[in-house]
Each structure stands twice: as structure tokens, then as C-alpha cells.
Structure 1
Amino acid sequence: MTLAVGVDIGGTKIATGLVSEDGKILDSVSEPTPDDATKIPAVVADLVERLVGDEQAAGIGIGAAGFVGEDRSTVRFAPNIDWREEPLGERVRALVDLPVVVENDANAAAWGEFRFGAGEDTDDLLLVTIGTGIGGGIVHRGRLFRGGFGVAAEIGHMRVVPDGILCGCGQHGCWEQYASGSALVRNARERVANEDEGSEAIAALGDGDLSKITGPAITKLAQQGDALAIELLAELGRWMGEGIAVLSAILDPSVIAIGGGVGAAGDLLMTPVVEAFEAHLPARAHRPEAALRLAALGNEAGIIGAADLARVEPNHG
């Protein structure tokens, strides 16, 4: 059995897993992400050595949020870590005698879902991850699509509202400003601040502090039948479905997997997503439709996908 190590570098935690060739995490270990970004390669190397021990591993796959260069080693830019043209793969490879592949975290998750999750039965998959923002990954004809410069599938920055809400990328009206967990929370806080009718239950979540109103808490209220929470989730789902319809018209995937924390909302979110998708898909009556599915691997998709990429697409550079 060929083993590989998957690494998921987040803003607060570095999670690693020893992954079998059938996509199972056999062992895992994690550490907090150091504030000093120059220490991250050493932390990754230590975690890998603790995981591998006396085992034989084919390589290390690292998923990182940000723009990863076409060399699959350099992080050109990361939004939550102080990396600019960071030779991450080279630095880790210098500490651990194994091939290292660096991939965008959403790309790694898309590959994991394609190989072992929601896309196991297709050669064309679009993964849409809904969290603080929106991430995406594209598998086309059985290969991960990285684009001409390695930074494809930044779908959260598709512009959907001209002169809309300012996004962290510097543009206005990006999709993730309307169809993300952050958008859900922002809208809920605005409804409370305006003392809108029916906002009492959501207001109680904060107990006078709007910062305490969170996405999971809103979802729980919706599941308990709160009308405004249900309305807010439906609005989020509408934005998601409309954007997914546009992406489907461009990419024509056979499966669209939706990941992130949205799975907890179930049909309260997925029903309006599907309704909006069907309403806005161009020429719907004259084309095959993508299957919309919840992602299957949860938070482990990035680790599983990164490890598999290290195994099937090794980078020996």
C-alpha cells in the first residue's frame, strides 16, 4: 500500500494526515499555525516526521489558501498568512527527504472529492466551498484544472453586482460577498441592528453584542423554525444557486459538489440553492443538467486530496 502525507495549512491550524491510496486517513496530527510565517516549514516537517515514522511515504501534498504558482511549489500570495512569492515546497523539501507538491487548498479538496467523494462517478467536477468566503476547484476530464498560471477557480471573486459590496480582494460586488457564511452573518446582524420585525430570536444570540451572532447559531435557529433565520438561509441559497448556474453555463460540469459548513443546514439551504440553479440555468430545457450534491469528505477533503496529488502527480523539482 502506497502512503502519502496530506497537509492543510490554515490561518490557525496546520493539520496533517497519513493517507492510504484508497483515500483513508490512517493517522493524523496537528499544531497551531505559528504567528511567524517563516516557522511554518519547520512545523510541517516536524508533523510529517511524527506521522511517517518508520513507514515509507510517496510524498507530501500541501494545501494552502492562496495563489499557488504553476511550479506547484511557490505560494504567490496568501490572504491569511504573510506569504508573498514564498518557496514553500522548496523550504519543506529541504527539511524532509520526500517530494513535495503545493496546491491551493480548494483545489486539493476538489481533487479529494473527485477521487474519493461526491465526484467518484464523474470525470468533470466543480467543487464550491462555502465558508467565510467562497473557494472552488475544477476537475476536467479527470485532471485538476489549474489554468495558465496555476491560479484558476477563484470563483468567489466572480463579479455578480456592479459597484456592489467591497470585497477583500479590492473589487466590488464579488460573489462571496453575497453567497458566503460571512454574508449570512452580516445580513443577520444588519436585521438585528435595524430592529426588523421577527429579529428577536437572532438578537438574543448576541445578547447585546452583534459579534456573537454566528452562522452555526443562525442555522440552528432556522432548524428550530425561526422565520427570519429560515429567510436568511433562503436568501443565501438563492445567491448560491444563481452563481452556480452561471458557472455551470461556463464550465458544464456533470457534478457540482457543495462543501464547507453549509451541509449542517441541509434542505433549508439546499432547496433554495437547487431552485435558483434551475431557474437561472440558461436554456435549461435543452441541455443535460449537472447533479448538485453535498460534498462527502467534510473537512478532511483537503488533506485527502493533497496526499493523493503527491502520490499521482509527484513534483520532483
Structure 2
Amino acid sequence: MLIGAIEAGGTKFVCSVMDEFNETKDRCVIQTQKPEDTLAEVVDFFKDHPIESLGVGAFGPIDLNVKSDTYGTIKNTPKKEWKDFPLLDELKRIIGVPVAVDTDVNAACLGEFRFGAAEDVDSAMYITIGTGVGAGFVKDDEVFKGVTHPEMGHIKVKKMDGDTFRGSCPYHEDCIEGLVSGPAIEKRTGIKGADISVDDPVWETVAHYIAEALVNYTLVLCPERIIIGGGVMKQAHLYPLIRTEFKKILNDYIEIDDVETYITAPLLNDDQGVIGAAALSKDIRG
């Protein structure tokens, strides 16, 4: 049995063909262009592989209400050419197999839950901090969705005393995405995060805001593990800073036995999204 998986990001589509043991049989990376151009390359890749189903973790916002007439449609994305594009319906039409779709962060969370940093617990949250900030939550092997998928990257946190940075989010300015995303760090400092010294005090500010958000998520969801990935978190020195701030802000209100285990890095080597998409593909086959 071969299954298809796509991590459909705003910058690139990672397409993979896997067997039931998650062994990759073929893979390609497609730059995200106009929908028709991108999907033409997707079809070209999968036409040589007899997949039985396809799972997709997509950038959003995307309509995930199965009762909605626009289920599987990308909604109010800043990528204007993709706004209101019926991704699920188009993939079903052009690939010709059953298709499951979810957000990229939900898929990544599912991947880490089943096969990575959270496979030993019953609930986990995955947050990606990169060009944007997004998060997914899985409990008892089910991805959480409500009226729509969670938008945890846009919660508000308390600004630090003396912090005059307005934020970079075009919708909310200083939501968590507007304070700690890659573009936010670059806007605050005038330097790309990868080029900032590990000793620069900006990392303490970034860690504080991330920790504030994690405390809020912990108080609301009480996950057994929080996994943080994304381009900003390639700065590995952030993890201990975040854990220290998290403990300080939480102030032992909820007992966390081992914060180093509770707040951790992904284990799937940046493949959590496509592995999670493969899991979605398997699930629709039953």
C-alpha cells in the first residue's frame, strides 16, 4: 500500500509517497506558486505513484468545518491568489483518490504525537514559530477542532515594562505572532534572527513572550507535553530561556514535574508535517 502526503506550506509544498511503515519511497519539493501552477506540479509528481489516499497539512486559515459548504477551502490568507481556493475539492478531482486535509500545524502535532516527541503521552501541543506562529493540539489521538481550527498564534500577551515595539502582525500588531515570529524579530532589531548573537538581550525578550503564551496554553489546555519547532527555534539557546521564564511566570500554580520534558523540541527532523499528513491519509482509509 502506498499513501500520499503533502505538507502544503506558504513557501513550498513537500510531497511524499510512503508505505504503511512511514518509509519514504519518493519525495519532491515544489515552490508555492499560483494554485493552478502549483497543483500541476503536484499532479505531475503523483501520477507515477499508485497512491490509495492522500493526506494534506495546509497553510491557512482553512475551513475545517465538515458541515460547511466551503469545507477544505483556504480562506482569508495573505497569499491573495490562494484566497477562497477549494484545495480539498481540487485535490480530490485531480488526484482521484480520497483526500484528508487539516492545517499544517495540526498535521505536525499529529506526527509528533504518534511518532515523535509525544508518542509516550496522551495529549500534546505543537507550536511552530517561524514566518508566522501557529499551534495544534492532539488529545487521545484526535486533533482538536472547534468551529474552525485554533489560531493560537494570535493570542495577546502582557507587554513587558518599557517594551515600545508595536509588533508586526497586520491584524493585531502585538499578538504573540507579532512579537516573536521571524519577521517580528527582524522588524524589532533590523537583523535576521539567524544573524543575531546568542548573547543579545533580544532573545530574553522573545523567550519571555513565548513563555507567557505557553503558560496561557497550559492553563487552558493542560497538555502533557509542549513541542516547539519552526525556524526561530533553530536558535537552540531559546529552549532553556523559555523554560526558565515559564517556571517564573507559572509560579508553581500547576505542578510540572520536569519542565525540560514538558517543553521540548521536535524529534522528527522537520518532517513532522509530512509524517502527520501521511497519518491523516492512513486515517481516512480506516
The TM-score bracket by the shorter chain reads 0.7 to 0.9
Q: Structure 1 residues 78, 23: CA separation in 2 closer, same or farther (over 3 Å shift)?
A: farther
Q: Secondary structure of the residue that 1:86 maps to in structure 2?
A: coil
- The share of aligned pairs that are identical, in percent, is 28
Q: What are the Cα deviations for residues 20-42 of structure 1, in whole angstroms up to 9, with x where unaligned?
A: 333333321122222x3233333
* Structure 1 runs, 4 residues or longer, greater than 4 Å off: 161-164, 285-290
Match of 2:278 in 1: 307
- Call closer, same or farther: CA 1:214–1:173 in 2, change over 3 Å: closer
1:135-167 CA-partner distances (Å, limit 9, x unpaired): 111102220002123x22x11100124897355
C-alpha displacement of 1:169? 4.8
Letter of the 1:278 counterpart: K
Partners of 2:95 and 2:165 in 1: CA distance: 46
1:91 partner SS: helix
Maintained 8 Å contact 1:68/1:102: no
Judged with a 3 Å threshold, the aligned counterparts in structure 2 of structure 1 residues 81 and 24 are, in CA distance, closer, same or farther, namely farther
Is structure 2 residue 204 aligned with structure 1 residue 234?
yes
Aligned to 1:65: 59
Distance 1:45 1:282, change over 3 A: farther
> What does 1:239-254 align with in structure 2 at a 5 Å threshold?
239-254=209-224
- Whichever of the two has the greater Rg, that structure is 1
Please tell me the residue identity of whatever aligns with 1:9: A
Measure how far apart 1:12 and its partner are.
Answer: 3.1
1:1-317 correspondence runs (5 A)? 2-34=1-33, 36-50=34-48, 52=49, 55=50, 57-69=51-63, 70-71=65-66, 73-80=72-79, 82-149=81-148, 151-152=149-150, 154-161=151-158, 165=166, 167-189=168-190, 213-218=191-196, 221-222=197-198, 227-228=199-200, 231-266=201-236, 268-281=237-250, 283-284=252-253, 286=255, 291-314=262-285
Task: Give the gaps of 5 or more residues in structure 2.
Answer: none
Separation of aligned partners in 2, 1:116 and 1:242: 28
- After TM superposition, the score normalised by the length of structure 2 is 0.86
The equivalent of 1:202 in structure 2 is none
The answer to which structure has the higher helix fraction is 1
Task: Tell whether the 8 Å contact from 1:127 to 1:257 is kept in structure 2 after alignment.
Answer: yes
Deviates more, 1:101-110 or 1:176-185: 176-185
Counterpart Cα distance in 1 of 2:38 and 2:137 = 28
CA RMSD of the aligned region, Å?
Answer: 2.4
CA distance change for structure 1 residues 308 and 106 in 2, over 3 Å: closer, same or farther? same
CA distance in 2, matches of 1:301, 1:271: 22
Aligned length: 275
CA contact (8 A) 2:228 2:263 kept: yes
Gaps of at least 5 residues in structure 1 are 190-212
- SS class of match (2:277): helix
TM-score by length of 1: 0.78
Q: CA deviation at 1:176?
A: 1.2
Distance 1:77 1:126 in 2: 24
Whole-angstrom CA distance in 2 between matches of 1:287 and 1:168: 32
SS in 1 for 2:112: helix
Matched to 2:116, the amino acid is G
